[in-house]
Amino acid sequence: MKINKWTLGLAAVGLVSLASVAHAEEKTAMMTALSATTISGYVDTAMVWNPGTGNGNPPPFAFNAGKQDRFSLNSVDIKIAKPMEEGQWSSGYTVELMAGPDAPGVTGIAGSTGGSADIRQAYVSMRMPLGNGLDWQVGRWDNIIGYESTDSYKNPNWTRSYGYTLEPTEHTGVLASYKANDSLSLSVGAANTVTTGPINGVSPRAETKKAIVSLISLTAPESMGAIAGSALYGGIDYGPGAVTHDRTHLYVGATIKTPVKGLNLGAAWDSVNHMDVAGVDTGYATTYAAYISFKPGDDSKWSAHLRGEYGRGNALGALADAANGTAGNPLHKVIAVTGTLQYDLWANVISRVEVRWDHNAGSGGKTFGGPAPGTPGEINEIMVAANIVYKF
């Protein structure tokens, strides 16, 4: 603690106490630190109706199990962060907690089902003055590949695609990111495993074996007119998973601006080899998805979104078995179409209605619905849902 001569003089005649001065300085330092900290998050809820023969065998896309024909609290997310400043050697941190029924699929910790707050992200950010600035994240961070986000309100649709379902959501390791210019960004990192796993999950492979994750982003410059801001992404995750084989995940995605105001297109391709589900190597899976979104203006309260997708591979049946506690689900090909209408009437509230159709496109017959797991009764599954999210 540094005290100037004027303060020492006042203390000598009893007008102030050194203890009160020290307390004031500590309080000022604390307030200065807290003023740079941000707190944000959301509460995600839904109402779901599934007409049909029963709810025993729902389609195995992410976060769908246990939500049929009921009201649901999906997740509660709280994020505390200090963003990096513009300085050459700036630093910051992020701590994000996630709880609720969706959390185990993100945190890898089953305790989330009971409502405990589990760590989704926790990392230290650092910037090095190399070129335009080389950014580092050390700790646990969101997966960098994929068209859709874990935060549902950031996606055009409430329910997730099969491509998102195949992807890991978190990694524990170190990530380096560099923005070469307005058109080119690169990220590469090393992590314990390709799969999400618990906070410090390890692989049954050799202790020196680590996973590599990467992403390259290309953005169309302003000189390209109506399609300026369109982006092309490509990424690879490769390394140990929860099984004895290395897992490879390839991803290519695109967002495309159009000359029609408010009309945007998107596409995504995911391919995974040695997909590990519940600790078992289930082979491969490939998914294709196309997106159409329309919002008439920046200030418009409503928007409409359509997604079509096709997936195939043995991993789809394994995902269905893991979700339903069964074995031998014959789902190997699936087609899904999702339509979403969003209207934001209240401040900070996202409200939307969604209709989704899943269809078994393979030879497995009736794989959805039914009175109980293992006794499906439908080749098609229809879902009607209302999603309400409050952001703070």
Using one digit for the tens of pLDDT, what is the confidence trace for 278-297? 777 778 899 999 999 999 99
Examine the domain organization and report whether 7 and 91 are in the same domain: no
Examine the domain organization and report whether 21 and 56 are in the same domain: no
Structural domain of 81? 39-391
Examine the domain organization and report whether 78 and 20 are in the same domain: no
Examine the domain organization and report whether 11 and 128 are in the same domain: no
**Domains held by the chain: number:** 2
Q: What are the angstrom distances between the C-alpha of 108 and each of 92, 113, 198, 278? A: 25, 11, 5, 11
Examine the domain organization and report whether 226 and 363 are in the same domain: yes
Examine the domain organization and report whether 18 and 79 are in the same domain: no
Examine the domain organization and report whether 31 and 180 are in the same domain: no
Give the pLDDT confidence score for residue 263 in this predicted structure: 97
Per DSSP, the three-state class of 38 is strand
The answer on pLDDT for 10 being more than 50 is no
* Gap between the Cα atoms of 392 and 347, Å rounded: 10
Using one digit for the tens of pLDDT, what is the confidence trace for 205-264? 666 789 999 999 999 999 999 999 999 999 999 998 766 778 999 999 999 999 999 999
Examine the domain organization and report whether 2 and 106 are in the same domain: no
Lowest mean pLDDT among 4-13, 147-156, 193-202, 204-213: 4-13
Mention every residue, 6+ apart, whose C-beta is less than 8 A from residue 212: 188, 189, 190, 191, 236, 237, 238, 239
Examine the domain organization and report whether 111 and 210 are in the same domain: yes
Examine the domain organization and report whether 22 and 59 are in the same domain: no
User: For position 179, which CATH number holds?
Assistant: 2.40.160.10
The amino acid at 109: I
Examine the domain organization and report whether 44 and 172 are in the same domain: yes
Q: Is 306 left (phi over 0), alpha (psi -120 to 50) or beta?
A: beta
Question: pLDDT category, 114, cuts 50, 70, 90?
Answer: very low
Which stretches does DSSP call E strand in the chain?
A: 38-49, 70-82, 91-99, 118-128, 134-142, 170-179, 184-191, 211-219, 231-240, 246-257, 263-273, 276-277, 280-281, 284-294, 302-312, 333-343, 349-360, 380-391
Instruction: List the structure tokens of 298.
Output: 């920046």
Beta carbons of 192 and 208 less than 8 angstroms apart? no
Task: Write down the pTM of the prediction.
Answer: 0.88
Give the pLDDT confidence score for residue 200 in this predicted structure: 59
Examine the domain organization and report whether 2 and 45 are in the same domain: no
User: By percentage, how much of the chain surpasses pLDDT 70?
Assistant: 85
* Gap between the Cα atoms of 47 and 281, Å rounded: 34
